[in-house]
Amino acid sequence: MAMSARQLQHIFLPLPPRSLTAPAPPYKRPTLLTTYSHQPDRSIQHDDSAMAYYSPAPTGCDLNYGFDRRIDRDEDVDEHLDGLCEALRNVEERGEAGERRGGIITWRGMITRIMTAPFEEREGWEMTAIPLDGSIYIELYDPPEIRAQRRKEQSSWAWQSYMGYSYEAFSTIPASGVQRRDDDPEGWSGDVNTNVQWCNVVRTAIGQIPLCLGGEVDCVDAPLGTAHPGLDKCMELKTNKVIQSRHQETLFHKKLLKHWAQSWLLGIPTVEVGFRDDSGTVKSQRVFPTEKIPQLVGSTSNPVWHPSPCIHFLYAVLDLVVSNVLPTDPTPPSGLAEDDALPEPVVWRFSFIPKRGCELYRVDPSRVVQEEGRWGGMLPLDYVRWRMRRR
Ligand code: 0WD
Ligand code: CA
């Protein structure tokens, strides 16, 4: 059937005014669904083997340490939402309750981007949304040219981002044990390998919209060797240059928006920032209770952000996505028989234009990205089949 021009229309959602103070839709306290761990070789285990315990970094530690021995995850491999999908499948196969239907399944980082958009002046983005089995899967849409550009920018930040990882190595003790070399400095828990990640999958909601989010958690503040102590004991670690001027303070407050949103979304109560000098030596550390961050920024003479427009915009975007995308779910209501062909995926996109707003549109079926083994260029075929199987 030919698609009418109307169906492919773009729907535009403007940003709310930054001065908005009206009460925002409530955000439900996240509860933990499951966790999983990426091993040093990037394979996944459905356990807490990649969890780490908080152990404060020694003041004066050198964040350049170990740079030449670091192992970086291969960024040419696009994992899409694979880890999250595998985790949700594992939850159901254990006979536990999974996500609630009618909402969004994605990485926490995607929601952070949508939420911080009202105060984002430069960086636009585009995301893909695909309905399946009563939920909408969302991921970043990263066409090759944009990906190449991002990689170029990232490489100029390589040292900076290494210092973040190295701060983690000084501030944690891995559950899998410390791998020390003879000349390692005090507090170092082993060389950086960014393949290793501990992911927590939570269930929450904004207003009536269910959310299922997967996010990386840096460490837990709990006695060494104990089991996962719950989201309440999770911590996010950050680094920042020491603040010596009003301008530097403003920059830090802008960064605090991302730190706050990121931790708040997953229900992580504590963010610790290590402040370093230009040469990479840690000078001081400070703990920020996540829920106090908006007040801290708001108490300055000219606050650079406040939460209300963020939460309103997040709700407005997700409401727009859910109300348009969910009705196009091609999953057969009675499920798919063993040898039925999969229905065609329905692919939507929404893009953010800084200082303007968000635009949602359905991708013309002839232009849907084709990727071997993936449905709609995103979801693994066996996962889709499992979701659609006749129950
Ligand atoms: O574009 C992609 N393909 C993305 C993949 C974008 C964002 C995340 N991911 C994947 C990661 O590989 C990981 O498995 O999602 C998972 C983590 O999701 P998240 O927690 O939602 O990510 P986010 O909140 O953006 O960042 C959390 C941490 C970062 O630490 P800081 O302190 O900078 O917030 O996850 C790490 C990073 O350490 N991280 C990544 N690691 C590898 N590849 C990536 C990435 N693309 N993005 C963030
Ligand atoms: Ca971190």
222: left (phi over 0), alpha (psi -120 to 50) or beta: beta
Tokens of 9: 């229309």
Residue 104's pLDDT band (boundaries 50, 70, 90)?
very high
- Going by their DSSP bridges, the two strands 125-132 and 31-38 should be labelled as unpaired
Establish how many alpha carbons lie within 13 A of residue 137's alpha carbon, considering only the half-sphere containing its beta carbon. 25
**Per-residue b/e over 365-389, b at no fewer than 16 CB within 10 Å?**
eeebeeeeebbbbbbbeebbebbbe
**pLDDT value of residue 187:** 97
Are 345 and 328 contacting, i.e. CB atoms less than 8 angstroms apart? Answer: no
Helices (H), the chain: 82-93, 108-116, 144-156, 158-171, 246-266, 293-298, 307-325, 381-388
157-161, 168-172, 188-192, 215-219: the lowest-pLDDT one: 157-161
Residue 213 alpha carbon, nearest atom of ligand 1:
21
State the CB neighbour count (10 A cutoff) for residue 17: 11
Residue 5's pLDDT band (boundaries 50, 70, 90)?
very low
φ and ψ at residue 92, rounded to 5 degrees: -70, -35
**pLDDT value of residue 7:** 55
**pLDDT value of residue 156:** 82
**pLDDT value of residue 91:** 98
Establish how many alpha carbons lie within 13 A of residue 45's alpha carbon, considering only the half-sphere containing its beta carbon. 12
Task: Summarize the confidence of residues 153-163 as an average pLDDT.
Answer: 89
Give the global pTM: 0.96
State the CB neighbour count (10 A cutoff) for residue 254: 16
Residue 79 alpha carbon, nearest atom of ligand 1:
3
**pLDDT value of residue 112:** 98
Dist. CA 375 → ligand 2 center (Å): 32
Dist. CA 237 → ligand 2 center (Å): 4
Residue 150 has pLDDT above 90, yes or no: no
| Side chain identity, residue 345 | P
- Going by their DSSP bridges, the two strands 234-241 and 270-276 should be labelled as parallel
Ligand 1 atom 7: the closest Cα is on which residue?
Answer: 109
Residue 236 alpha carbon, nearest atom of ligand 1:
32
Whole-number Å distance between alpha carbons of 263 and 370 = 34
Among the bound ligands, name the one nearest to the CA of residue 78.
1
Tell me the per-residue pLDDT of 348-391, one tens digit each, with 9 for 90 and over. Answer: 999 999 999 999 999 999 999 889 999 999 999 999 999 999 77
Ligand 1 neighbours by CB, cut-off 6 Å: 73, 83, 107-109, 112, 140, 142, 164, 197, 199, 215-216, 238, 262
Tell me the per-residue pLDDT of 251-269, one tens digit each, with 9 for 90 and over. Answer: 999 999 999 999 999 999 9
Task: Summarize the confidence of residues 335-345 as an average pLDDT.
Answer: 94
- Going by their DSSP bridges, the two strands 44-45 and 31-38 should be labelled as antiparallel
